[in-house]
């Protein structure tokens, strides 16, 4: 059958029979937000370990069953029939642990995790989050330049890029210019004076007025809000 060996079939059937014992708890787990009483969870956990269905992605060198990729799929195919709260009974720790763990990490965390005595967890510090977001912001700013904003807005409203710097004031030009100033403030770290300088040497109060006006109009004008959304998505790629 599909080229499955006797061992493959045994593993698949064992997983199927185990999952059949979990299914009756499906409704209770869903209603409880994925949580079951600790004693029931512990019972499922112990049974998965006893059947060799725990840490199935781990090699025998660290105490895992050493399942082939196909055998892992056969188990996960069955486990996927139940909600995550139940599927955790047959948990698979990160496979890369076995390749990178130091001897100390292996003894303290990896081997206990493979035995089901410990669970891995992922944490992020506020400092790391700030640094990660700072890097993302820098990357975005490197792509979203003021020149890019001016050209994108000019193309969208079918005016010339030169109109962004000019002293012309008809509505067909003034409003797109204000929109470009607004986007420059929203999508870059440029100061108001810096933005004004790049819009034909305009005063920072002119930029501030444009930012406030477009921001206020956006909250009331559905069409303008949609246009700004399209421009933002275009600029962000």
Helix (H, G, I), strand (E, B) or coil at 65: coil
- pLDDT tens sequence across 152-195: 999 999 999 999 988 888 889 999 999 999 999 999 888 999 99
Last residue of a domain, one of 88, 114, 140: 114
Q: Is the residue at 184 inside a domain?
A: yes
Q: Residue 178: CB partners within 8 Å, gap ≥ 6?
A: 210, 213, 214
Tell me the mean pLDDT in the region 67-88: 90
Task: Tell me the pLDDT band of 9, cut-offs 50, 70 and 90.
Answer: very high
More confident: 142 or 26: 26
Q: Is the pLDDT of residue 114 over 90?
A: yes
Q: How many CA atoms lie within 13 A of 56 on its CB side?
A: 27
Q: Is the residue at 52 inside a domain?
A: yes
201 with 104, same domain? Answer: no
Task: Tell me the pLDDT band of 97, cut-offs 50, 70 and 90.
Answer: confident
66: containing domain: 6-114
Angle, CA 175 vertex, CA 229 and CA 190 arms, to 5°:
65
Q: Is the residue at 159 inside a domain?
A: yes
Last residue of a domain, one of 86, 114, 142: 114
Q: What is the pLDDT of residue 142?
A: 58
Q: Which CATH number is 194's domain given?
A: 1.10.1750.10
Last residue of a domain, one of 84, 114, 144: 114
105 with 162, same domain? Answer: no
Residue that has been written with the tokens 């246009």 in this structure: 227
- pLDDT tens sequence across 98-107: 888 899 999 9
53 with 97, same domain? Answer: yes
Q: Is the residue at 155 inside a domain?
A: yes
- pTM of the predicted protein model: 0.52
229 with 133, same domain? Answer: yes
Q: Which CATH number is 42's domain given?
A: 1.10.540.10
Tell me the mean pLDDT in the region 17-25: 94
How many domains is the chain partitioned into structurally?
A: 2
Question: Do 70 and 8 meet the contact criterion of CB atoms below 8 Å apart?
Answer: yes
More confident: 1 or 95: 95
DSSP conformation letters of 132-146:
HHHHHHHHHHHHS-H
Of all helices (H) and strands (E), which one includes residue 103? Answer: helix 103-105
Q: Is the pLDDT of residue 1 over 60?
A: no
Q: What are phi and psi of 16, to 5 degrees?
A: -65, -45
Q: Is 45 exposed, middle or buried (0-12, 13-18, 19+ CB in 10 A)?
A: middle
Q: Is the residue at 119 inside a domain?
A: no
Tell me the mean pLDDT in the region 45-58: 94
- pLDDT tens sequence across 132-152: 777 666 666 556 889 999 999
Distance CA 118, CA 231 (A): 49
């Amino acid at each position: 059958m599909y080229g499955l060996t006797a061992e493959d079939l045994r593993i698949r059937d064992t997983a199927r029979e185990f999952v059949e014992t979990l299914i009756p708890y499906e409704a209770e787990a869903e209603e409880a937000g994925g949580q079951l009483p600790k004693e029931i969870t512990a019972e499922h956990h112990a049974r998965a370990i006893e059947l060799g269905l725990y840490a199935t992605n781990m090699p025998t060198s660290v105490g895992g069953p050493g399942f082939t990729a196909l055998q892992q799929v056969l188990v996960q195919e069955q486990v996927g029939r139940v909600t995550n709260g139940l599927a955790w009974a047959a948990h698979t720790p990160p496979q890369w642990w076995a390749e990178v763990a130091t001897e100390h990490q292996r003894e303290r965390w990896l081997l206990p995790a493979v035995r089901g005595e410990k669970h891995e967890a992922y944490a992020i510090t506020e400092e790391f989050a700030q640094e990660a977001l700072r890097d993302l912001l820098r990357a975005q700013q490197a792509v979203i330049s003021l020149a890019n904003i001016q050209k994108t807005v000019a193309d969208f409203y079918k005016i010339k890029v030169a109109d962004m710097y000019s002293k012309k004031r008809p509505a067909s030009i003034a409003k797109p210019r204000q929109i470009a100033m607004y986007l420059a403030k929203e999508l870059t770290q440029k100061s108001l004076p810096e933005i004004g300088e790049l819009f034909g040497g305009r005063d920072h109060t002119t930029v501030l007025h444009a930012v406030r006006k477009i921001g206020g109009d956006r909250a009331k004008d559905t069409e303008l809000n949609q246009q700004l959304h399209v421009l933002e998505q275009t600029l962000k790629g």
